[in-house]
Structure 1
Amino acid sequence: MVEKYKVITLCGSTKFKTEFLQVQKELTLKGNIVISVGLFGHADGDYENIITTDIKIMLDDMHKRKIDMADEIFVINKGGYIGKSTKSEIDYAIKIGKKVNYLE
């Protein structure tokens, strides 16, 4: 069975790890290919330990490449929160013509 699956990249603050995992599960079970973050820097406390300025720049650029691969993005905006990096990703997605959906 070969289908045409929609590809969705998740965007949002990595402090919302629980929400990312729940949305990833729900979207996958609906028949979507889901691309997510590589790590949860805020939720897992990695920002204090391993996230240097250069790594942050690299991760932000990698996430934009994930947006390039997607048909649309899904923003994890718990409580309406959208931080600077997420805002940049939304703006980029809109600029290149991707559909944007929101958790809230």
Structure 2
Amino acid sequence: MCASTRYWDELADANVYETAAGRIVLAPGCDLKQPHPLWATPAQADRLEQVLGDLHLHKIDLADEVLVVKPDGYIGDSTRREIAYARSLGKRIRYTYSPGAEQL
């Protein structure tokens, strides 16, 4: 799954639906917008953001398809990069909460 972490709750909800549908879900695991000791300083947050970005691309490598969660149609730069990467690998891409797109 890909999305802006501003949609953390929607990501969690989509994870439930995808899991209940019998799919193995690879999703973001950290919300850097929420306080946590692992990214308490700007230097820690910058380092972890790079690590997580690379990790998410590796998750896309493992995925059969990518589900983009976008409740209000917003797709940020990181998610755009992930979609482009998935497309370059020939991955199927689905979108949630978008008129005319495949829904959960």
TM interval, shorter chain, is 0.7 to 0.9
Once the two structures are superposed, residues 51-96 of structure 1 have per-residue CA deviations (whole angstroms, 9 ceiling, x without a partner) of: 5322211110000000001000000112100001000000000001
- Structure 1: which amino acid aligns with 2:59? K
Structure 1 spans left out of the alignment, 5+ residues: 1-9
Out of 14, 18, 23, which is 1:27 matched to? Answer: 18
Structure 2 spans left out of the alignment, 5+ residues: 99-104
What do you get for the CA RMSD once the two structures are aligned? 1.8
Out of 60, 63, 68, which is 2:61 matched to? Answer: 68
Cα drift, residue 45 of structure 1? 4.0
TM-score w.r.t. structure 1 length?
0.82
Give, in whole Å, the separation in 1 of the partners of 2:35 and 2:72. 21
Q: Is the 8 A contact 1:74 1:100 kept in 2?
A: yes
Runs of 4+ off more than 3 Å = none
Give, in whole Å, the separation in 2 of the partners of 1:86 and 1:58. 15
TM-score w.r.t. structure 2 length?
0.82
Aligned pair count reads 94
Highest RCO, 1 vs 2 (Cα 8 Å, sep ≥ 6) = 1
The 3-state SS of whatever aligns with 1:67 is helix
Residue in 2 aligned with 1:91?
A: 84
- Structure 2: which amino acid aligns with 1:68? D
Q: Is the 8 A contact 1:73 1:93 kept in 2?
A: yes
